[in-house]
Amino acid sequence: MKPEELLEAARLKAPSPEPMGGGDVARLWRAGPYVIKTHPAPPPGMFPAEAEGLRALRKAGILTPDVLWAGEAGLVLTYLPPGKSDWWPELAEMLARLHKTRKERYGWSKPVYLGTFPLPPGEHGAWGEYFVNFRLKPLLEATWSQLGPTGKDLERVLARYIPPTEGPTLIHGDLWHGNVLMSTQGPALIDPSVWVGERGVDLAMMQLFGGFPPPFWEHYETFFPIPTEVREALPYYQLYFLLVHVHFFGPAYLSGIQRVLRIYG
């Protein structure tokens, strides 16, 4: 659907939509106080899943755009104007509060999307089994033809490494710096892939591509210190994001996977 059609479906009146920058997966449009997200061929359930994730984060105390309309064809969200660029202490406190929340089980009752890649629904009480079977193995199968000998090495690490646990918590699920918006209202999170996991998954993505400066980490550690065993598990969790990058962008990301395997090999 065209962005104008999504505004009409939401029964909102606004100026003509104009393309926005950003959006590695979706196409973004600005229409006055609204942002419209579209995709030329969205997987079924992708946009409703994002809307549910945004609502879950907001309910947990995270600043996000309001979801004004959600459907298979896209989303209509409130526009958060950009503000100062150094909300790092506030972001650290906000994420620490999120990561301190506790849930009963790992997982999500509906399919989860990492980009456009669908991951199966389901819940589990054991973290190591859940992360391998519901998160890593679907990506391993999807990328097997591109992994070459690295695939067998990866299987061996998955079979023997047991990550530490702090407890099930709601996570953003794709927390690179491009999904943090420094708005006039404070730091906000966008484009989530929400599910219940270990906070290390968020921390791993935050360190994979950089973008979070020392003041953020200093304040985060003040609110919720990161134990040594969790810090040592972060490269393992990065396999999740490296595999999806191999899937979408090719074997250029194999070196990152091989780096992780040397740590645990």
Q: Specify the CATH number for the domain of residue 20.
A: 3.30.200.20
Q: Specify the CATH number for the domain of residue 155.
A: 3.90.1200.10
Same domain? 111 vs 175: yes
Which of 56, 78, 100 terminates a domain? The answer is 78
Same domain? 15 vs 107: no
Same domain? 48 vs 171: no
Q: Extract the tokens encoding 230.
A: 């969790």
First to last CA, the chain: 48
In a domain, 28, yes or no: yes
Cβ 198 vs Cβ 169: under 8 Å: yes
Mean of pLDDT values over 31-37: 98
In a domain, 83, yes or no: no
**122 pLDDT exceeds 80?**
yes
How many independent structural domains does the chain possess?
2
For residue 104, which phi and psi values (nearest 5 degrees)?
-80, -40
Cβ 160 vs Cβ 224: under 8 Å: no
Same domain? 227 vs 205: yes
Same domain? 73 vs 172: no
Same domain? 68 vs 102: no
Same domain? 182 vs 70: no
Same domain? 178 vs 236: yes
Mean of pLDDT values over 166-170: 98
The Cα angle at residue 65 between residues 63 and 66, in degrees rounded to 5: 110
219 — pLDDT class (breaks 50, 70, 90): very high
23 — pLDDT class (breaks 50, 70, 90): low
Same domain? 226 vs 205: yes
- Cα(117)–Cα(221) distance, rounded to whole angstroms? 32
The whole domain housing 186 covers 88-264
Same domain? 171 vs 60: no
Listed in sequence order, the DSSP H helices in 13-77 are 46-59
Which of 17, 50, 78 terminates a domain? The answer is 78
The 10s digit of each residue's pLDDT in 78-105 is 999 999 999 999 999 999 999 999 999 9
Same domain? 70 vs 102: no
The pTM of the full predicted model, rounded to 2 decimals, is: 0.96
Same domain? 93 vs 115: yes
| Active site positions, annotated | 174
The 10s digit of each residue's pLDDT in 36-80 is 999 999 999 999 999 999 999 999 999 999 999 999 999 999 999
Which of 57, 78, 99 terminates a domain? The answer is 78
1 — pLDDT class (breaks 50, 70, 90): confident
